[in-house]
Amino acid sequence: MTDTPEKPLVRILHLEDSRVDHTLVKFALQRSGMHHELTLVDTMPEFQRELASGQYDVVVADYHLPGFSGLDAWEHVKASGTDIPFVILSGAIGEAAAVEAMYRGVSDYLLKDSMPRLSHVIERALVLGQTRRAKTRSDAKLAESRQRLAELAEHLQTSIEQERADIAREIHDDIGGSLAAVKLDLAWVLRRAEDEAMRKHLDSAMEMLQHALGASQRIMMNLRPPILDQGLVAAVVWLASGFERRTGVRTHVRRSSEQLEVSREVQLVAYRSAQEALTNVSKHAPQATAIEIDLSDREGVLTLEVSDNGPGMAPDAMLKSHSFGLLGLRERAAKVGGWLDVSTTSGGTSIILSVPLRPGADDIALATGELADDQSDFV
């Protein structure tokens, strides 16, 4: 062996039944100046034992061996999970066998007639192996990063829903209660006021107070509508009615039944998807004159489709900075095992949420800890 300390040592496991060919391999590597250690094995048990030791950098294997082939050895390498470059060195491998070997993932092959090129082939296989391992590590890190981002998005959505529920309760219990009490006091004063100017001021104050009560109730309903406790269909119909009343855009809801048996988590995802879709219509398609909402649970899949007859979205609308609404909905859908599709043409846009339903799934409470009790309207 050529002793070249300045070069890295390459430990080679040579699977070969011919001592003459082994000697030729050793001579070719010595002439190339490669700093190496060459270990010969000629049976499958010996190959398996040496491979399991984990001390080799590359395998060089003959194609035709007594009782097995070089591809059989390669299949064992793959089955063992060992990530090691594998080079087939044969005198008569044939084009078809060479193609099959490369298709199965062998690093490279070389004819014995081209033995002087062996060190170059080994070095190339080592580089490719390092590149492959680096890519595997990068892919693993990328997958981990994506998983952490998905977990962060889920945590943020859960925190948002928790905060919305808390704010809605505070508005109902504190602000709503206080405004209702002030209204009762003003009504008491108004009944006893005799001065006409005072009565006018009290009437004005009552109107402003009633407006504040209405605004508080509307904010509370948007944060966490109590109608969700009556089911997804009722919530979507209520949402559509309110949108039509505010905007004047005809909004029609079609449903497969009046009650859809879905978990609370899926119910909230569907409701927020419908809410975001209607918000997008009012912001980005003010020309729309009609909206169709289809809600069904046929064939074990909850489907919510919100379609408008507006001008459609620009092709790059989803790529714009700060365009996180639909991206957030996709994260929500993925969280419950579903997906969100957006279809747009010059005749309008459709946002479609699909969530496979588990048969007999319990109506579990959200992780946000929302209370399921009905929230009564303000007085």
- Note the pLDDT tens digit of each residue in 300-357: 899 999 999 988 876 666 555 445 667 778 888 888 889 999 888 878 899 999 999 8
CA 174 to chain centre: 39
pLDDT of residue 339: 93
3-state secondary structure at position 132 = helix
Q: How far is Cα 36 from Cα 33, in angstroms, rounded to an integer?
A: 9
Beta partners for residue 38, in sequence order: 12
**Is-contact 254 307, C-beta < 8 A?**
no
Q: Is residue 312 part of a domain?
A: yes
Q: Is residue 331 part of a domain?
A: yes
Domain of 257, in residue numbers: 226-367
State whether 231 and 360 are in the same domain.
Answer: yes
Q: How far is Cα 48 from Cα 75, in angstroms, rounded to an integer?
A: 11
pLDDT in tens, 155-191: 776 777 677 777 877 777 778 778 888 888 888 888 8
Within 10 Å of residue 30's Cβ, how many Cβ atoms? Answer: 14
Domain boundary among 136, 170, 198: 136
Q: Is residue 206 part of a domain?
A: no
**Is-contact 202 232, C-beta < 8 A?**
no
Q: How far is Cα 41 from Cα 379, in angstroms, rounded to an integer?
A: 90
Domain boundary among 118, 136, 154: 136
Q: Is residue 190 part of a domain?
A: no
**Is-contact 172 230, C-beta < 8 A?**
no
Q: Is residue 58 part of a domain?
A: yes
**Is-contact 26 38, C-beta < 8 A?**
yes
**Residue appearing with tokens 């303000």:** 378
Domain boundary among 136, 164, 199: 136
Q: Going residue by residue through the chain (379 aa), what tens digit of pLDDT does each one get?
A: 445 456 789 999 999 999 999 999 999 999 988 999 999 999 999 999 999 998 999 999 998 889 998 899 999 999 988 889 999 988 777 778 888 888 888 988 888 888 899 999 999 999 988 888 888 889 889 888 888 877 777 777 677 767 777 787 777 777 877 888 888 888 888 888 888 888 888 888 888 888 888 888 777 767 767 777 788 999 999 999 989 998 999 999 999 888 888 888 898 889 989 988 998 888 888 888 999 999 999 888 999 999 999 888 766 665 554 456 677 788 888 888 899 998 888 788 999 999 998 754 444 333 333 333 333 333 2
- Looking up residue 116, the CATH number of its domain turns out to be 3.40.50.2300
pLDDT, averaged across the chain = 83
pLDDT of residue 340: 92
Q: Total domain count for the chain?
A: 2
State whether 232 and 132 are in the same domain.
Answer: no
State whether 129 and 261 are in the same domain.
Answer: no
What residue type is 343 in one-letter code? S
State whether 246 and 131 are in the same domain.
Answer: no
Q: How far is Cα 332 from Cα 154, in angstroms, rounded to an integer?
A: 7
Q: How far is Cα 60 from Cα 186, in angstroms, rounded to an integer?
A: 95
- Looking up residue 304, the CATH number of its domain turns out to be 3.30.565.10
Q: Is residue 100 part of a domain?
A: yes
Q: Is residue 219 part of a domain?
A: no
State whether 118 and 244 are in the same domain.
Answer: no
Q: Is residue 180 part of a domain?
A: no
**Is-contact 252 292, C-beta < 8 A?**
yes
